[in-house]
Amino acid sequence: MINRRELIKGAVTLGGYAGMGLGRSLAQDDDSLAIIDTNVSLFHYPFRRLPLDEPDKLVARLQELGVTEAWAGSFEAILHRDVSSVNRRLMETCSRYEILKPIGAINPTLPGWERDLADCQNHRMTGIRLLPNYHGYSLEDPRFRKLLEQATGAGMFVQIAVSLEDLRTQHEKLSVPDVDLSPMKEALARVKGARVQILNHRGRGKALTELAKINGVAFDTARLDGTNGIPGFLHKVSPKGLMHGSHAPFLIAEAALIRTHESGQMEPGELRKVLSGNARRWRKGGA
């Protein structure tokens, strides 16, 4: 019997798509086979070593899986206070790998964050990644709203990591709850044209129902569990509101792809949008 790892390796090839019953329509255009991972991180996670926490190893695994582009943030942004240096190291590392696209970190509680945002824009980053729970601010904070306004004005999208690690496995002295998304609706109402991707959301809760109705809000697949998780989530959000994201190397890079394919419930058009189409549109400035 084919195991899960073999299944996903086959699924990201042309023959694998056809073999899994997704139809010849996926094979008619090479672009339909592209996979964009919108949620990976580089360098060392501060609380333990991870199997793929060296860029060479992570990139090799992503390429084995058929990923053609990966939006990379930095684990250093979790605790480092010199965000400018964090983003510089991220840029330098990503420049060595065609597949990696840097997503800079901004901490609006630190002085000079506006300069960090300007640096990200000058480096032609298409988006920034925020860690509100680790950086100590809520989405009601006026500094967050100002950051959202400035990033939107610069034509950049904003990623918000709801969590990085399950509360049950966090160090007891460094326990960080998930980000409360309930203020997001009001913030987005005040910042027209904002594009916000919610990372590592489990696909449940009242805030999800409200945010799913807002144009310009998207989610990733990293923590949508179960074979019905991703198709079920698509019933709650617009088809253009979900993008592939693995949260690698913290999570196994194969996991989100396996759940996408094992569901067997997605139409070829939906699959293309989740795997790359939606991300490609965002990268070009669409919502």
Q: In what order do the strands lie in the sheet with 100-102?
A: 35-42, 67-74, 100-102
Which pLDDT tens digit goes with each residue over 134-147?
999 999 999 999 99
pLDDT of residue 32: 52
pLDDT of residue 3: 43
pLDDT surpassing 80 at residue 59: yes
Tokens 């998207």 belong to which residue? 218
CATH number for the domain harbouring residue 13: 3.20.20.140
Domain count, the chain: 1
Name the residue range of residue 167's domain: 4-283
pLDDT band per the 50, 70, 90 thresholds, residue 263? low
pLDDT surpassing 80 at residue 33: no
Which residues, other chains included, contact 148 with Cβ-Cβ below 8 Å and sequence gap of 6+?
Answer: 158, 187, 191, 194, 196
φ/ψ of residue 208, rounded to 5: -60, -45
Cβ–Cβ contacts within 10 Å for residue 228, how many? Answer: 14
Report how far residue 248's alpha carbon sits from residue 61's, in angstroms, rounded to the nearest whole number.
10
Average of per-residue pLDDT across 70-80: 97
Which pLDDT tens digit goes with each residue over 87-105?
999 999 999 999 999 999 9
Average of per-residue pLDDT across 247-276: 85
pLDDT of residue 16: 42
Task: Find out whether 219 and 198 touch, Cβ atoms under 8 Å.
Answer: yes
Task: Find out whether 36 and 69 touch, Cβ atoms under 8 Å.
Answer: yes
Residues shown for the chain? 287
Please report the beta strands in the chain, taking only residues with DSSP state E, as ranges in sequence order: 35-42, 67-74, 100-102, 104-105, 127-130, 157-161, 196-199, 217-220, 242-243
Which pLDDT tens digit goes with each residue over 206-244?
778 788 888 899 999 999 876 677 877 887 887 788 999
Can you spell out the DSSP letters for 97-154?
Answer: -TTEEE-EE--TTSTTHHHHHHHHHHTT-SEEEE-HHHHT--TT-HHHHHHHHHHHHT
- Per-residue CA distances from 221 to 18, 132, 198 (Å): 23, 20, 10
pLDDT surpassing 70 at residue 27: no
Structure tokens at 149: 């306004």
φ/ψ of residue 285, rounded to 5: 105, 0
pLDDT band per the 50, 70, 90 thresholds, residue 107? very high
Report how far residue 239's alpha carbon sits from residue 269's, in angstroms, rounded to the nearest whole number.
9
Which residues, other chains included, contact 5 with Cβ-Cβ below 8 Å and sequence gap of 6+?
Answer: 254
Please give the mean pLDDT across all residues of the chain.
Answer: 86
Judged on CB neighbours under 10 Å (0-12, 13-18, 19+), 130 is: buried
Which residues, other chains included, contact 158 with Cβ-Cβ below 8 Å and sequence gap of 6+?
Answer: 127, 128, 129, 130, 147, 148, 151, 152, 194, 195, 196, 197
